[in-house]
A and B are shown apart, each in its own frame.
Chain A
Amino acid sequence: GAVVSQHPSRVICKSGTSVKIECRSLDFQATTMFWYRQFPKQSLMLMATSNEGSKATYEQGVEKDKFLINHASLTLSTLTVTSAHPEDSSFYICSPGRDGPDTQYFGPGTRLTVL
């Protein structure tokens, strides 16, 4: 089946630094990528939707200048958390747009800890 990879799986950084998270769809072309954030013991919340070759659409309350999304190719989307702060510590998950009626794929997630 299709595989979605994320890198890094875990990152610890100092406050004020920027962190880039890569999401790759390995077996199919993803024209759409969804980026989710999950705080401890909470449900996943959609942050933004990226479309290959165009600007991302951000959900209400998500700062587009802080969470930079690039979807330059059909197999790679990146999320950059700029000037990270401790409150940005969370579990970030990407999910390509559905490829068929019975499939919903998710990346393995990136756990970000900002000190």
Chain B
Amino acid sequence: KNEVEQSPQNLTAQEGEFITINCSYSVGISALHWLQQHPGGGIVSLFMLSSGKKKHGRLIATINIQEKHSSLHITASHPRDSAVYICAVSPSYNTDKLIFGTGTRLQVFP
């Protein structure tokens, strides 16, 4: 079993829909990251969380440390949001390391 699990693996949506991507992890962490990987492969950091909630534009990330769970929400989705969204955690035993989930492939259709 992977230490970081994401769901769903694939997600399609119509433009304007509210989207939720979930991440569960099994190790103690110092931080959790949400990353966006574009079709060309480039990776952009969206959020780094250690508690609570963060918001940036139409993106919201939440984390529940007790339940070892995080969610990434996209409001008013747009075709340009189509990408792979990756959850990654920095484990407490090695805070420089990142353990990645397998990603959620999102396609938003106009």
Contact = CB atoms under 8 A, between A and B. Distances in A.
On whether the two chains bind one another, the answer is yes
Interface of A: 32, 34, 38, 42-46, 49, 91, 93, 95, 97-98, 101-106, 108-109, 111
Contact of A104 (B41, B45, B101, B103): B45
Contact of B97 (A46, A101, A102, A111): A46
A93 B103 CA distance: 16
A105 B48 CA distance: 12
B67 interface: no
Contact of A97 (B40, B43, B45, B96): B96
Given A43-B86, A91-B41, A93-B43, A104 B100 contact: no
A45 B101 CA distance: 10
17 contacts: A32-B96, A44-B100, A45-B100, A46-B98, A49-B97, A93-B43, A104-B33, A104-B35, A104-B98, A106-B35, A106-B42, A106-B43, A106-B44, A109-B40, A109-B41, A109-B42, A109-B43
Interface in B11-66: 33, 35, 40-45, 48
A49 B42 contact: no
A106 B45 contact: yes
A95 B37 CA distance: 14
Contacts of A101: 48
A58 B98 CA distance: 14
